[in-house]
Structure 1
């Protein structure tokens, strides 16, 4: 158990018992516990295997290479159609987690095997992701923004393109773009921003 991760489990209210049980299961699989993107993240030889995260309707494991895993229990879920590599296992009760405990350990060990195999998830290229009209307009208005965006790693570019294209209303997309501009200009990705905001929130608690 990593003390710097304790705050996540201590602050959790709705899913406190469930995430505590998930932590116990993962640690029994001898993974290393760390804090990444504001969530408990578990690694094997410094490679990300899974993390625990919570939502209003459920808590979940997020398996980083779940798309490559076998799923005999039919419990791996693609969070959205744009998620390429990761898969969730969702939980809504402590009873459900305890019932699946032995199977969850099998999935975790399988995830480790997949990571050790070195197989990569075939990802769509950045140019295959749509650029919203609103973002194109901003690129034309602010050449430095376009230059900074193109200097980002492909993964960071994809994350922004997905994030900025999700809202259905143009006004909402414009608001998201405005919020992201300072981070893009500073070479920051969405995960960098989320981790910064979570750490800031933690310090203020």
Structure 2
């Protein structure tokens, strides 16, 4: 695979089962409270009176599975004082060099997605590294392989754009212009941003 790697989320089919989150936590042997991939529920709406004591429902709920978006303009990399947070030139994967990490947490404060996670036991930060070990063996990232609904996919961004189209902006996540995330989403109808 060549070019910037990214994720695609078929959000309109996500059932919020948390399998991707659990699999990632298990694969990375994370401590309590640490999550490299998180499933967020977003709900809202209400009821509108349409006359004669009749109401129309406008209620919605959807889920978004987010890990590190391996941003093209990653503030965690830019703001890391030791160079521990790095972006691989060959595929754009953002990862933490544990030898250089001093646990200052500048990366955790810089990331609008909350991807870097501080581990108080080690005094260092960890995050999704796109399962580099699995990719090296020709396997899919753990979250992608585990999804029972096949909602998650990965690959070079150019290929994902051709295959799925989609958007980088939905209701409930930061503006993509902040970091240029390597993320495409086929949105749930209530998540779509109308411009």
Q: Which has the higher contact order (CA 8 A, sep 6+)?
A: 2
Query: Which structure features the higher share of strand residues?
Result: 2
Do Structure 1 and Structure 2 share a fold, with TM-score over 0.5? no
TM-score by length of 1: 0.27
Task: Determine which structure has the larger helix proportion and give its number.
Answer: 1
